[in-house]
Amino acid sequence: MSRRKKRSQTARNNRRQEQKRPSWDVVIQDTAAGFTCSRQIAKDFVAQCDSRLEDLEADIAFNRAAHTMWAGRPGRARDLAQTLAEFVIERERETAALTVLRQRFAALAADELFHEHLDPVEQWRDFLRSTILPDRSFP
C-alpha cells in the first residue's frame, strides 16, 4: 500500500499565494481598462509618483547618512564619499522631476473637461499583452 507524500507547509503556502495572485489575463484587462481612460491613467500615475516619492524620501535619508559617515575620509574612501554625494544629488533630481510630473498628472486628473477613452479596448489589451509579456502565449 503506497502512501501519498504530504506537501510541506512551504509548498502549501506557495500554492495558496499563487491561487490568490491575479492571473496575467486579469492584470492585462485591468491595465487596459485604466490605461485607455485619460482620467484613470492620470490618477494611476499620480499614485505611482506618490509611491516613488515616498520611497525616494526614505532612500535619500539613508543615502545622506551613508555619505556623512564616509565624508572626510582619506584615500579611496574620499572617492566613495564623492560618489555617494553624487548619488544623493541624482536622487534629489529625481524627486524634483517626479514632483513636477505629479502636479501635471494631478491637474489632468482633476480636469472635468478632459475625459477621453481609447477604443476599442480589445486592441489595447492585445497591445499590452504583446508589449508587457511578449514571450507568453495567451488563449
- Look at residues 40, 52, 48 and name the one whose alpha carbon lies nearest to residue 118: 40
Average pLDDT of the chain is 89
pLDDT given at position 135: 79
pLDDT given at position 17: 60
Q: What is the mean pLDDT of residues 80-85?
A: 98
SS3 state at 117: strand
- Residue that is written with C-alpha cell 496575467 in the block: 24
pLDDT given at position 16: 65
Instruction: Identify which has the larger pLDDT, 109 or 24.
Output: 109
pLDDT given at position 59: 97
Write the DSSP string, 81-98: HHHHHHHHHHHHHHHHHH
Q: Give 133's pLDDT tier (boundaries 50, 70, 90).
A: confident
Q: Give 134's pLDDT tier (boundaries 50, 70, 90).
A: confident
pTM for this predicted structure: 0.75
Close Cβ partners of 63 (under 8 Å, ≥ 6 residues apart) = 84, 87, 88, 91
- pLDDT tens by residue, 6-20: 666 676 666 666 666
- pLDDT tens by residue, 24-76: 889 999 999 999 999 999 999 999 999 999 999 999 999 999 999 999 999 99
Number of residues that this document lists for the chain? 139
Q: Give 139's pLDDT tier (boundaries 50, 70, 90).
A: very low
- Look at residues 107, 106, 88 and name the one whose alpha carbon lies nearest to residue 50: 106
